[in-house]
Amino acid sequence: MPTTPEARFAWRGDKAYSLSMDQIPRGTDLTSGELTTLKNIIARSFVSAGTVPKLRRERLLDMGLITAGMGGLMPTPMGRIVARMPG
């Protein structure tokens, strides 16, 4: 797996999937709970960071599907695309 600072990984179980800036994750790369959380954040446009479990929040942030700011979580354009992809 790449070890450059730009390299990011998505974990599903014990498998790591490399994500680069030019690769959009698929909805199938997310667990059902992560996809539900992402869709909830998109529906509300802003969710308090404390309402999302820490591991789920960190994974969505690492994948670039949400961003943190002003004490909350907001969807990124890539997050909106992934949430609309057929599963």
- The CATH code of the domain that includes 25 is 1.10.10
Q: Percent of the chain beyond pLDDT 70? A: 74
Whether residue 1 lies inside any domain: the answer is no
For residue range 27-65, list pLDDT tens digits in order.
888 999 999 999 999 999 999 999 999 999 999 999 999
Measure the CA–CA gap between 74 and 84, rounded to whole angstroms: 16
Match 């959380």 to its residue by tokens: 37
Q: What is the pLDDT, as a whole number, of residue 7?
A: 52
Q: What average pLDDT does range 15-20 have in this prediction? A: 59
- Domain holding 60, by residue range, is 8-84
> pLDDT-based confidence at 3, cuts 50/70/90?
very low
Structurally, how many domains does the chain consist of?
Answer: 1
Q: Percent of the chain beyond pLDDT 90? A: 63
Q: Rounded to an integer, what is the distance from CA 69 to the centroid of its chain?
A: 15
Q: What is the pLDDT, as a whole number, of residue 14?
A: 63
Q: For residues 30 and 49, is the Cβ–Cβ distance under 8 A? A: no
pLDDT at 18 over 60: no
Q: What average pLDDT does range 81-85 have in this prediction? A: 93
